[in-house]
Structure 1
Amino acid sequence: MKALLTGSSGFLGAVILNQLKQNGWKVFTLGRRKDSTFRVNLTESFQLNSDQRFTHVIHCAGKAHVRPRTKLEEKDFFTVNVAGTEHLLNALGKTDVLPESFILISSVAVYGRVSGNMISETESLNATDPYGRSKIEEELLVREWCNSKGIRLTILRLPLVVGKDAPGNLKAMVEGITRGRYLNISGGLARKSMVLAADVATLIATPGLQPGTYNLTDRKHPSFAELSQNIAGQLGKKAPANIPHWIAIVAAKLGDILGHKFPVNSK
């Protein structure tokens, strides 16, 4: 099997690339790095050779793990996640032989939910934040393209992706615990769905992945207290302290006033 993989230099993409190679796939990478098979910037139009042929396209590239502070930064989510995907689809559409399967890495952020249990793939997509809205638009774009071309589409909506050197909120938690600055709120009882990057990669690299839309999780939903205590133990640090909810609210409002000078805010 021959796969075109975007985002191979990212956290999850690198894990997927390694697993595909281990499973004997021939992998072509597409991205801005010099070692990419196809060195392109997805935010700009590009072309692939018309005789390029891939059985699978795995679209892992995208903008995430950034909290926008300006309208321009909000727009970046759509430039990368929507326009970038459209450029990829346009390039693929001009090749002589279309791929058999398209696998899109998406996010549970599309639901716009801050809480909930057993959220179904049929749940309404109500995201209001720039990242979630951009992923909704991306999904619709890819779905329409695949339907029009007769290509099998698999959408993987991921929660928090964990693994060695994970970015985003998990990275911030690890850094906070390392520096002794991480605090649990109200006992850290809130729970978080997550999935191991290696498990996502194994699923993609194993033949037989069926078309459809899937919320992925490892079926274990640790509390923030459990997660932070486990990380602290691995780092040889003390378990994080706890603060009442009202103190967290006051601190967040103070952060809204002070801006970048304060480590937290209500967002």
Structure 2
Amino acid sequence: MKILLTGATGFLGRALVARLIQQDGICLSLTRRSQPVRSNLIAHFFGELSADTDWSSALAGQQVVIHAAARAHITKDKAADPLAEYRRVNVEGTLNLAQQAAAAGVKRFIFISSIGVNGNINTDPFAASDQPNPAEPYAQSKWEAEQGLWEMQQEIGMELVIIRPPLVYGPSAPGNFGSLVSWIEKGIPLPLGAIYNKRSLVGIDNLVDLIIRCIDHPAAANQVFLAGDGEDLSTTELLRGVGKAMGKPARLIPVPAGLLQFGATLLGKKAMAQRLLGSLQVDISKTCELLDWKPPYTVEEGLKRCFERAK
């Protein structure tokens, strides 16, 4: 099996490389040099993911493309129109890669999208069949990329697999999870001891396992899958779990969520408050049933593995 992986230097990409190079029968090609070249690993280098990138040298002979590269963050002073910048990379760059992959004879294209395509808050768990409702520019760009890929799939016939993960945690994870870890590590008292929301997460090892299952599983073709650990936690429970896994106390003060929401709105931090106080659950029953898959690790095990590896 010959696989091309984009985004090999990213948080998810590095974990995928570590697992895939251990799989018998896989020859892995990367679009970034992130590991010493081994007998089953070939490194290419491409400067930018865009509508003009020529992927021909990397795509020759490949059977599967796992597209994990994306533009995920744009600082306010970086671009006057963040959505346009996201589109340039996440939509135009993705569709250019997919078109060239199909022309090169690639059988299956696995696109790592985002649960943000469904929305960023809910009262009932999202399902893969739900009407998309992206609320932020990054998620909007992922949704537009998905639509373009489906149009292409119908015209060309290359198999398409779309995976939408929620917050991904793991050793040295960036973003929101990294911030939570930093707060606990520093022993900062947090007013988050009485939050009763429900958030779905996915450990990096569980997500990697799911992606690998989708490489050649017949039932994965032309499907959208939601990823998750199969357990939902409140922000309070997550912070306590992180503290336990780190061996440090989570110093949590029980402040009512309504009061925190009001204060965050006054300070212009409404989006941050929503991620900490709101609920976002995913239903992974389709993923588990169609692929005969279940997350290998519980949340407790996944958190423990974060800090065992980080030591």
TM-score grouping bracket, smaller chain normalisation: 0.7 to 0.9
Q: Does residue 60 in structure 1 map to residue 71 in structure 2?
A: no
Equivalence for 1:78: 87
Contact kept, 8 Å, 1:184 with 1:241, in 2: the verdict is: yes
User: Residue 171 of structure 1: SS of its match in structure 2?
Assistant: helix
Q: Secondary structure at the match of 2:81?
A: helix
Q: Alpha-carbon deviation of 1:251?
A: 3.2
Q: How does 1:84-103 map to 2 (within 5 A)?
A: 84-95=93-104, 98-103=105-110
Using the TM superposition, give the Cα deviation of residue 43 of structure 1 relative to its aligned residue in structure 2, in angstroms: 2.5
Equivalent residue, structure 2, for 1:203: 210
The residue type paired with residue 71 of structure 2 is K
For the Cα contact (< 8 Å) 1:28–1:38, is it kept in 2?
no
Instruction: Output the amino acid matched with 1:181.
Output: I
CA deviations 1:172-224 (Å, max 9, x no partner) are 11112222336254612212101122122223324426211111112111221
Alpha-carbon distance between aligned partners in 1 of 2:129 and 2:70, rounded to the nearest angstrom: 23
Q: Show CA shifts across 1:56-76 (max 9, x none).
A: 010001122667576433432
Stretch deviating more after TM superposition (25-34 or 128-137): 25-34
1:86-143 CA distances to partner (integer Å, 9 max, x unpaired)? 2312433553xx1111111111111124023332111001113101111100111112
Q: Which moved more, 1:32-41 or 1:175-184?
A: 32-41
Q: Which sections of structure 1, spanning at least 5 residues, go unmatched? A: 257-264
1:177 aligns with 2:184: yes
Q: Is the 8 A contact 2:193 2:252 kept in 1?
A: no
CA–CA distance in structure 1, aligned partners of residues 34 and 60 of structure 2: 20
Given that 2:98 and 2:109 are in contact with CA atoms closer than 8 Å, whether structure 1 keeps it comes out as: no
Q: Which residue of 2 aligns with 1:232?
A: 243
Instruction: Work out the CA distance in 2 between the residues paired with 1:16 and 1:34.
Output: 12
Alignment of 1:120-199 (within 5 A): 120-181=127-188, 183-185=190-192, 187-199=194-206
Aligned partners of 1:30 and 1:40 also within 8 Å? no
Give percent identity, aligned residues only.
28
TM-score computed with the length of structure 1 as normaliser: 0.85
**How many equivalent pairs are there?**
257
**Displacement of 1:236:** 3.5
Would you say 1:244 and 2:256 are equivalent positions? yes
**Aligned residue type for 1:245:** A
Evaluate the alpha carbon distance shift between residue 220 and residue 66 of structure 1 in structure 2; reply closer, same or farther with a 3 A threshold: farther
Counterpart of 1:251, as a letter, is G
Q: Distance in 1 between matches of 2:59 and 2:162?
A: 26
CA distance in 2 between partners of 1:176 and 1:75 (Å): 33
Q: Is the CA contact 1:184–1:224 (under 8 Å) kept in the aligned structure 2?
A: no
Which residue identity lines up with residue 252 of structure 1 in the other structure?
A
Instruction: Give runs of ≥4 in structure 1 deviating > 6 Å.
Output: 32-35
Matched, 1:215 2:218: no
Structure 1 contact 43–80 (Cα < 8 Å) conserved: yes
The answer to whether the 8 A contact 2:199-2:232 is kept is yes
2:270 corresponds to which residue? 266
Q: If each structure's strand is expressed as a fraction of its own residues, which one has the higher value? A: 1
CA 1:205 to 1:226, structure 2 compared with 1: closer, same or farther past 3 Å?
same
> Hey, what's the Cα distance between the residues in 1 that align with 2:265 and 2:210?
42
Go from structure 1 to structure 2 and tell me whether the alpha carbon gap of 1:199 and 1:50 turns closer, same or farther (over 3 Å shift).
Answer: closer
- Alignment correspondent of 2:267: 255
CA distance in 1, matches of 2:108, 2:225: 15
Q: Aligned partner of 2:21: which letter?
A: K
Contact 1:8 1:17 in 2 (8 A): yes
Instruction: Name 1:3's counterpart in structure 2.
Output: 3
Distance (Å, rounded) in 2 between the aligned partners of 1:186 and 1:232: 13
Q: Which residues of structure 2 form unaligned runs of 5+?
A: 37-42, 272-311
Which 10-residue stretch deviates more, 86-95 or 8-17?
86-95
Change (3 A) 1:27 1:51: closer
Residue 262 of structure 1 corresponds to none
Correspondent of 1:37 among 22, 41, 44: 44
